């Protein structure tokens, strides 16, 4: 409810409008131009009402010291400034608070991009085999797939549900689930996961986990839960508010009693407003995430960033985590004294020239880089997990020249 009201009354366009009215108030007060009303009133209405609503909501529904927040202190200062007629000060503290909230939302939205991308990978339909004839297929929505249904997954298609392969061999791109940059060879009896991509062969699978029980949906829920957790430093102003609010009120009262000047008492409240804290934390987090992205490091949330400051040891469990996932040939070893390294490379590249496997592509690319002549293998067959079989038939001869 708080967020919906805040989005409706403020948001980026409305906050910018509040800032414009605040500038107008400052300019007109300095030039002596008289208006029917002070433009700072508009800033107070746009930025101050959601702030006041937030302070009241927390005071009613939160428990213990959580009832006292930075929003409460700023609301008190805003109302006090209005009471003495300093509308510019009231609009200023409310505007700064909203700028901090916008920066915080921008950081959160940036983190949610990964989640949106993950959700977009959720399959929408699957190819179910019907009847006793394996050739009879029907495309159905994934929410209609039931456990133990037999599904066919063709090359290039996304696995619609978790299942067990009952026929065929293939290589599956599981990077979305495991982070592994290379496809994993799969055969009969092995498990495949929802959202992974079938790269090569056609396979039939028996559905084992469907709907919300699938691995992809569990991963999405796990990421959603992680996104809801804010960085401990993200609300540092609220943490300090439990003692900051009473201290500010006490000092303001003492100042008013001693000086007999209400303006000075209100000034204490305005100065005590944690505007710097409200702006500093989300701004620092945004800057850190943006700078890391420039160097190819993706930080999913402010919480993850803060925890990294306490890390002293990092363990990586996959090669793909530390590399670009782009395979390259490093060395060529010939175990046949009669074959040079160039001949080994030429034969291997020719055999792999029609392969779609990342290893095969890397070999062919290396051969082209070294300007090695690649011959057309003619007949080509790939067997998942075992390699390729290529034969180049010689003219007028029935005996194939085979490379396995």
Q: Which of 191, 189, 201, 187 is nearest to 156 (CA)?
A: 201
229 in a structural domain: no
Place of tokens 């989640």: 115
Task: Kindly write down the DSSP assignment for every residue of 143-166, as one continuous string.
Answer: GG--TT-EEEE-TTPBP-SEEEEE
H-helix or E-strand containing 190?
none
- What does the angle CA 57 – CA 61 – CA 64 come to, to the nearest 5 degrees? 115
Give the Cα separation of 192 and 177 in Å (integer).
11
Q: Could you tell me if 347 and 383 lie in one domain? A: yes
Measure the N-to-C terminal CA separation of the chain; round to a whole number of Å: 66
The 10 Å Cβ neighbour count of residue 357 is: 20
Phi, psi of 229 (to 5 degrees): -85, 115
Q: What is the CATH number of the domain that holds 202?
A: 2.70.150.10
Joined together, the tokens standing for residue 45 give: 């209405």
Give the Cα separation of 169 and 166 in Å (integer).
9
Q: Could you tell me if 256 and 394 lie in one domain? A: no
314 in a structural domain: no
Place of tokens 């009896």: 189
Q: pLDDT tens-digit profile of 38-83?
A: 888 888 888 888 888 887 887 777 776 566 667 777 888 888 888 8
Q: Could you tell me if 9 and 99 lie in one domain? A: yes
% of the chain residues with pLDDT over 70: 73
Q: What is the gyration radius of the CA atoms in the chain, in angstroms?
A: 32
279 in a structural domain: yes
Q: What is the CATH number of the domain that holds 394?
A: 3.40.1110.10
Give the Cα separation of 229 and 90 in Å (integer).
31
Q: pLDDT tens-digit profile of 270-304?
A: 777 766 666 666 677 777 776 776 666 767 667 77
Give the Cα separation of 285 and 283 in Å (integer).
5
Q: Could you tell me if 296 and 365 lie in one domain? A: no
282 in a structural domain: yes
Least confident segment among 104-113, 152-161, 217-226, 366-375: 104-113
326 in a structural domain: no
Per-residue confidence (pLDDT) for residue 206, from 0 to 100: 93
The last residue of a domain, from among 223, 243, 263? 223
Question: What average pLDDT does range 256-267 have in this prediction?
Answer: 84
Question: What average pLDDT does range 340-346 have in this prediction?
Answer: 88
313 in a structural domain: no
329 in a structural domain: no
Domain that holds residue 11: 2-117+234-308
Q: What is the mean pLDDT of the chain?
A: 77
Q: Could you tell me if 290 and 246 lie in one domain? A: yes
Q: Could you tell me if 112 and 240 lie in one domain? A: yes
Q: Are 155 and 184 in contact (CB under 8 A)?
A: no
Q: Are 160 and 123 in contact (CB under 8 A)?
A: yes
The last residue of a domain, from among 189, 223, 257? 223
Q: Could you tell me if 109 and 258 lie in one domain? A: yes
Per-residue confidence (pLDDT) for residue 404, from 0 to 100: 47
Q: Could you tell me if 374 and 274 lie in one domain? A: no
- pLDDT confidence bin for 235, thresholds 50/70/90: low
Per-residue confidence (pLDDT) for residue 165, from 0 to 100: 93
Give the Cα separation of 234 and 67 in Å (integer).
17
In this structure, the chain runs to a length of 404
Q: Could you tell me if 47 and 178 lie in one domain? A: no
- What does the angle CA 32 – CA 36 – CA 39 come to, to the nearest 5 degrees? 75
pTM confidence score: 0.52
Q: Could you tell me if 276 and 198 lie in one domain? A: no
Catalytically annotated residues: 317
Question: What average pLDDT does range 119-144 have in this prediction?
Answer: 80
Q: Could you tell me if 112 and 129 lie in one domain? A: no
- pLDDT confidence bin for 10, thresholds 50/70/90: very low
Calculate the alpha carbon distances from 276 to 3, 104, 230, 283, 326 in Å. 22, 14, 19, 10, 45
Cite the DSSP H helix spans in 179-274: 215-228, 236-259, 262-272
Task: Kindly write down the DSSP assignment for every residue of 391-404, as one continuous string.
Answer: EEEPTT--SEEEE-
Calculate the alpha carbon distances from 133 to 128, 136, 167, 205, 362 in Å. 12, 6, 14, 15, 40
Give the Cα separation of 199 and 197 in Å (integer).
6
318 in a structural domain: no
Joined together, the tokens standing for residue 68 give: 């006292």
Per-residue confidence (pLDDT) for residue 237, from 0 to 100: 58
The residues with which 229 forms a beta bridge, in sequence order, are none
The 10 Å Cβ neighbour count of residue 202 is: 15
Q: Could you tell me if 74 and 15 lie in one domain? A: yes
Per-residue confidence (pLDDT) for residue 395, from 0 to 100: 38
Number of folded domains that form the chain? 3
Give the Cα separation of 55 and 50 in Å (integer).
9
DSSP-derived 3-state class of residue 334 = coil
Place of tokens 């065929």: 168
Q: Has residue 205 got a pLDDT over 90?
A: yes
């Amino acid at each position: 409810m708080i967020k919906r009201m805040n989005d409706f009354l403020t948001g980026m366009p409305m906050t910018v409008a509040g800032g414009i009215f605040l500038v107008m108030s400052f300019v007109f007060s300095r030039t002596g131009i008289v208006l029917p009303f002070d433009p700072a009133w508009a800033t107070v209405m746009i930025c101050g009402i959601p702030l006041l609503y937030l302070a009241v909501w927390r005071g009613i529904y939160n428990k213990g010291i959580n009832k006292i927040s930075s929003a409460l202190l700023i609301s008190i200062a805003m109302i006090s400034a209005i009471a003495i007629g300093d509308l510019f000060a009231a609009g200023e503290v409310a505007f700064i608070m909203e700028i901090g909230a916008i920066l915080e939302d921008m950081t959160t939205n940036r983190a949610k991009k990964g989640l949106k991308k993950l959700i977009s990978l959720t399959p929408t339909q699957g190819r179910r085999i019907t009847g006793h004839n394996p050739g009879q297929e029907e495309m159905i929505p994934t929410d209609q797939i039931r456990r133990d249904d037999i599904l066919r997954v063709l090359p290039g298609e996304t696995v619609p549900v978790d299942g067990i392969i009952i026929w065929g061999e293939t290589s599956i791109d599981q990077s979305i689930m495991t982070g592994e940059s290379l496809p994993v060879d799969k055969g009969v009896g092995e498990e495949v996961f929802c959202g992974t991509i079938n790269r090569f062969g056609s396979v039939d699978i028996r559905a084992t986990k469907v709907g919300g029980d699938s691995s992809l949906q569990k991963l999405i829920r796990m990421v959603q839960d992680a996104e809801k957790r804010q960085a401990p430093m993200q609300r540092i102003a609220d943490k300090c508010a439990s003692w900051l609010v009473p201290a500010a009120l006490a000092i303001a009262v003492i100042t008013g009693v001693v000086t007999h000047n209400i303006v000075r008492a209100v000034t204490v409240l305005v100065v005590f407003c944690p505007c710097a804290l409200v702006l500093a934390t989300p701004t620092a987090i945004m800057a850190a995430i943006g700078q890391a992205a420039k160097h190819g490091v993706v930080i999913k949330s402010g919480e993850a960033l803060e925890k990294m400051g306490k890390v002293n040891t990092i363990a990586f469990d996959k090669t793909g985590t530390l590399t670009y996932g782009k395979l390259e040939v490093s060395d060529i070893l010939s175990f046949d004294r009669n074959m040079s390294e160039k001949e080994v490379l030429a034969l291997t590249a020719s055999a792999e020239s029609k392969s779609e496997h990342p290893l095969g592509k890397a070999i062919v690319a290396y051969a082209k880089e070294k300007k090695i002549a690649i011959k057309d293998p003619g007949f080509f067959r790939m067997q998942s997990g075992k390699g390729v079989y290529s034969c180049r038939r010689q003219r007028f001869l029935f005996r194939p020249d085979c490379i396995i």
